Amino acid sequence: MGARAAGKVTRRKTVVDVGAGAGKGPSGHQAKQQGKIRRLLVMLSLLKSAEAMTPALLAGRLRVNTRQITRDLKELTQLGFKIEYDRAARRYNISGGIFMPPLELEAEEAFALVLLAEQVAGKHQVDHLGPAATAIAKITSTLPDSVRKEVESSRGKVQIRATMGGEEGPHDLYDGFRRAVAEGTAMQCRYDSARGMQEQKPGEEFVLRPYALLFHLRAWYVVGHNQERGQVRMYKISRFRKAAATKERYTIPADFSLDKYLGNAWRVITDKQDHEVELLFSKEMAPTITETRWHKTEETQENADGTVTYRFTVSGLTEISWWILGYGPMVKVVRPKELAELVAKQARRAAEQYG
């Protein structure tokens, strides 16, 4: 295996095949018309979704050129659909309710939904998503018999075991922040910081303008603008002792994104300063490191002696030091010096626990 280039990510796009089938069937004209109708229906589904969708993205999904997209949009408008493009949000809006055909899911699509809803939401691997298990039961009941039987034949034989949710806290906290993000409603809050952290002083109240929600490993977090501190901060939702909606409305900045806020954080604790990190893993740990993608900036180098050099850029050293300590003597910090000193200090403290 060769070294993986830093930051190189392979993304698979879902492409909707809207071409007419080959072989025996409708005449050429009929097949063309059927293909057009199918394409327009798929286009309506994409436009109605919450996904950002530009003309170029539509063309890619539907496997046509942008000129065809322009013609299709014009035809849908003539049919009575009011379609407008929001340049700021980079997506289309369809005004009013429209009739959409029932879902025609393939067996593999239906099974993937059942697996995610029942295994992840239904087994509380991600807190507050329980309603997904109820929703999938409704969807499953509408599937054709042949598809439903194929889904049932695999049930229980394929499982997802990610992480079990922690103490999820009151559902109204999560739901309140979810609504605040959607509606742009500021929240009057009181928060209990973790020991050793200084997000807020005990009992201090502040106004938070939530920008986004994030689930990571075992907990939900809210990222928003703290009015009193004048900063965008991240808070663990279960630690809020008060989160009441106010009458204040706000607009999430157009240039805000969760990815931009987290930067090169190892997980969720971010820092303004980036560090170039180089680790040397023993040959026993080499397969574990090379077979898993740990960070978006990573680069691995397999050495002649079986060891692996692992390089990446990370914002802040606290989280990465915890991860490194988990591998004990099977990893060595090559650089930076301050990370090596931090890991050594923490290792000595851990050893002192055992005399």
- Residue count of the chain: 355
Tell me which residue of 162, 167, 295, 160 sits closest to 219, measured CA to CA: 167
Here the tokens at position 336 are 């930076």
Measure the CA–CA gap between 33 and 255, rounded to whole angstroms: 42
80's tokens: 């009575």
- Report pTM: 0.64
Residue 201 phi, psi dihedral angles, 5° rounding? -75, 150
CATH (residue range 274-352): 3.30.70
Tell the residue number behind the tokens 């018309």, with chain if given: 33
The tokens for 1 are 């295996």
SS (H, E, C) 272-293: CCEEEEEEEECCCCHHHHHCCC
Q: Are 125 and 116 in contact (CB under 8 A)?
A: no
Residue in the block written with tokens 């229980």: 156
Query: Do the domains 274-352 and 171-262 match in fold?
Result: no
Q: What is the pLDDT of residue 98?
A: 55
pLDDT of residue 163: 67
Which helix H or strand E contains 302, and what residues bound it?
Answer: strand 299-302
Collapse the DSSP code of 243 into the 3-class scheme (helix H, G, I; strand E, B; otherwise coil) and give the result.
strand
β-pair type (240-249, 205-216)? unpaired
Domain ranges of the chain: 28-94, 107-154, 171-262, 274-352
In the CATH hierarchy, which top-level class contains the domain 171-262? mainly beta
Residue 287 is given by DSSP the state: H
Looking at residue 20, its pLDDT comes to: 40
Q: Residue 179 is encoded by which pair of tokens?
A: 């609504």
The Cα–Cα gap between 168 and 93 comes to 35
**Residues of the chain under the 70 pLDDT cut:** 1-28, 50, 95-103, 163-170, 194-203
Output the CA angle 66-69-70, nearest 5 degrees: 90
pLDDT at 296: 93
Sign of the alpha-carbon torsion through 286, 291, 292, 297:
positive
Question: Would you say 16 and 42 are in contact if contact means Cβ atoms under 8 Å apart?
Answer: yes
- DSSP annotation of 96 reads S
| Distance, CA of 258 to CA of 198 (rounded, Å) | 22
Q: What 3-state DSSP class applies to 191?
A: strand
What confidence score (pLDDT) does residue 355 get? 73
Residue 284: strand, helix, or coil: coil
Q: Which residue has the tokens 């695999």?
A: 154
Question: What integer pLDDT is reported at residue 4 of this predicted model?
Answer: 44
Structure tokens at 261: 């806020």
Confirm or reject CATH 3.40.390.10 for domain 28-94, answering yes or no.
no
The residue written with tokens 């054709």 in the block is: 144
